[in-house]
Homo-oligomer: A and B are copies of this chain.
């Protein structure tokens, strides 16, 4: 959290808007630009070593998907922005990797920012931006990732996707990201189950921290995904000529999935808040058990010790001491007291 605000701050102070500075971790070594272009019949794929290779893509009648992995190289991003008429404020958003998911329609272009989530031990998130025109989609990722491989395969194998335009490609890419959320949710599901077992079977001092850690991660998951709802429903109902009516049904489908994801997150929140209660009551239960043990031992032996103390007194005239069977009798009495107390505790169900 700290690093985030710091990033934003140092960027802005005194700089005019639209100044391009990369804000975020440098997550990959060098920017890698891959291009896939296709139409119904044909299909090409290359890695752009020289940015000029991208120039023909903009106005080609084929659909071009330019994917940029690694955005720390501001120069590269700026040049691509120049080629595809991307507004400087939009480029700034691409580079500033702390955006909330959002959608902006700028004339005939559509700009979409989403967050892709990763769990490697911790939950982290990556910003993925799409800039869409009639015949091209430019996507910016922080990492090289495999989340879009399914889409690549579908283009390569010439499935239905090749019959359609850039708006459908945008849908397919967003769909990949939303599908990835289900994987994240599955991991959370496992984490929740493990934590529930821990609470019931072996709660420790760290359990509370784990619950709170889970809670924080769910809060941050929610923050990353919640705005998506509006973004996708905005795309579905978009009046931009870019988004064709016939693609609407597909965005509606992603929208349904997003709602399902959000629903699941909400129920995870409920479950985690229930875990807290369970944990706290298990603490109380353990304390109760400890108390009961103490009580039982103490309340049985305290009276007995008193009896022993009485006959340890040194009074001259203590007739019991001289009785022949005084000692066995006193053991008998003490056993009786112990038995009576035990019965009492049994009755109280403390034993």
Contact = CB atoms under 8 A, between A and B. Distances in A.
Interface of A: 1-2, 5-6, 8-9, 12-18, 89, 98-100, 102, 104, 149-151, 153-154, 159-161, 172, 175, 179, 182-183, 185-186, 189-190, 192-193, 200, 205, 208-209, 212, 215-216, 219-220, 223, 249-250, 252-253, 256, 259-260, 263-264, 267, 270-271, 274-295, 297-299, 301-306, 308-318, 320-322, 324-327, 330, 348, 350
Contacts of A304: 306, 309
A293 B295 CA distance: 8
What secondary structure prevails in chain A residues at the interface with B?
Answer: helix
9 contacts: A12-B150, A12-B179, A16-B172, A215-B274, A216-B274, A281-B283, A294-B294, A297-B298, A312-B314
B2 A193 contact: yes
A13 B179 CA distance: 7
From A172, A205, A275, A314, residue with most partner B Cβ within 10 Å: A314
Contact of A314 (B274, B301, B311): B311
A314 B306 contact: no
Contacts of A8: 179, 182
B290 A290 contact: no
A255 B9 CA distance: 16
Nearest to A280: B281
Given A1-B189, A8-B182, A161-B16, A290 B287 contact: no
A50 to B, nearest CB: 31
A189 B2 contact: yes
Given A5-B189, A303-B297, A318-B327, A153 B14 contact: yes
Contacts of A326: 315-317
A17 B150 CA distance: 12
A126 to B, nearest CB: 17
A303 to B, nearest CB: 6
A284 B283 contact: yes
Contact of A330 (B219, B274, B308, B313): B313
Given A6-B186, A209-B278, A291-B295, 5 more contacts: A2-B190, A16-B154, A16-B161, A291-B291, A312-B313
A99 to B, nearest CB: 8
A311 B311 contact: no
A165 B250 CA distance: 31
Contact of A212 (B13, B17, B223, B278): B278
A256 B327 contact: no
A122 B76 CA distance: 44
Contacts of A303: 297, 301
